[in-house]
Amino acid sequence: MTTEPTHFLDIDDVSRDELLTILERAEAYKRAQRTGADHADLDGQTLGMIFQKPSTRTRVSFETGMTQLGGHAVFLGEDDIQLGRGEPLKDTSRTLSRYVDAVMARVFKHENIEVLAEYSSVPIVNGLTDDAHPCQTLADLLTIREHEGGFEDVSAVWIGDGNNVAQSFALGAALTDIDLTVATPAGYEIDDDVLDRARELGGDPTVTTDPVEAVTDADVIYTDVWISMGQEDERDVRMNDFEGFQVGSDLLEHAPEASVMHCLPAHRGEEITDEIIESDRSIVFDQAENRLHAQKALLSWLLE
């Protein structure tokens, strides 16, 4: 008897208890790596990695993570496989399912990850789509848990574009009872359906267009680029629209104790200043490191 695979297409594909289990496992893997303890829990298993979008952190963290877990990762660029020659996603998905134990895909349209999942007999992991970035959220939550000692009474602010990273983070905040405020310029808000999903999970995100009001006395301030891949032709308009939303020393005067997060890559001097990203308040590179530990935990949880 075969069982349906568990997929991870957005952060709310797991329950609160499952999320906490993954984060606890990530902490254990982080300790194991630092002490040199063996943790080859996926010995002999293979991860296929489909990339339609380029990446630094996603590729290296997943590939390194599989190696450290005793497994193997195969990089599959769009032009390296038959997707680049027009093979339907459903055919790619069914074929890869016969070869590998799990697939991570970094694609443009969210519907593409859904098609991969529909036709796959192995777990599909969303490495990023235009709508969601749940693996980043796992690392974000792990980082907040480490620096704040947990999630209780933590206030976090998302400031900037209500993009895919923001949307998954809003759902992750709801799952962990983080008090979230989202500050975006008018017209750049998180999608209403994502806010509705956050509320269904028990969250109650505050939405505002006032960055100063949003960050006042926050524990964590999180931002991302204003101009994502594929939006380069909107640069002049966006730079004007996001005036006042830069995470710099002026804004942080209103949140003197806040840690600062950014999922990287950063456009220093735009959404965040070089001074802040290099300051003692920045936990940006802890976030980046935690992609590795969180994804190892996710993969072992999905494949156990």
Query: Catalytic amino acids?
Result: 106, 133, 136, 224, 263, 291
| Annotated binding residue 121 | no
Instruction: Check the annotation: does 287 bind a ligand.
Output: no
Query: 231 a known binding residue?
Result: no
Q: What are phi and psi of 77, to 5 degrees?
A: -70, 150
Read off φ and ψ for residue 208, nearest 5 degrees.
-150, 165
How many Cα neighbours within 13 Å face the side chain of 60?
6
Strand partners, 124: 103
147 is in an annotated binding site: no
Is 49 annotated to bind a ligand? Reply is: no
Which is nearest to 6 in space by CA: 129, 168, 117? 117
- Ligand-binding annotation for 134, yes or no, is yes
Residue 126 is labelled as binding a ligand: no
The answer to whether the annotation marks 168 as part of a ligand binding site is no
Distances (CA, A) of 96 to 5, 51, 150, 162, 189: 14, 14, 38, 33, 37
33 is in an annotated binding site: no
Task: Please give the single-letter amino acid code of residue 46.
Answer: T
Per the CB < 8 A criterion, the answer to whether 225 and 265 are in contact is yes
Residue 264 is assigned to a ligand binding site: yes
Distance, in Å, from the CA atom of 133 to the CA atom of 261, rounded to the nearest integer, reads 15
Say if residue 106 carries a ligand binding annotation.
yes
Sequential DSSP letters for 18-87? HHHHHHHHHHHHHHHHHHT----TTTT-EEEEEESS--SHHHHHHHHHHHHTT-EEEEEEGGGSGGGGT-
> Is there a contact between 25 and 297 (Cβ–Cβ < 8 Å)?
yes
Report how far residue 182's alpha carbon sits from residue 190's, in angstroms, rounded to the nearest whole number.
Answer: 8
Q: Is 155 annotated as a binding residue?
A: no
The sign of the dihedral angle between the CA atoms of 208, 228, 51, 90 is positive
Is 210 labeled as ligand-binding? no
Q: What DSSP string runs through 72-115?
A: EEEEEEGGGSGGGGT--HHHHHHHHHTT-SEEEEE-S-HHHHHH
The reply, when asked if residue 300 is annotated as ligand binding, is no
246 is in an annotated binding site: no
Burial of 249: CB neighbours in 10 Å, binned 0-12, 13-18, 19+ = exposed
Residue 223, annotated as binding a ligand = no
Residue 68 annotated as binding site: no
Residues annotated within a binding site for carbamoyl phosphate? 55-58, 82, 106, 133-136, 263-264, 291
Residues annotated within a binding site for L-ornithine? 164, 224, 228-229
Residues annotated within a binding site? 55-58, 82, 106, 133-136, 164, 224, 228-229, 263-264, 291
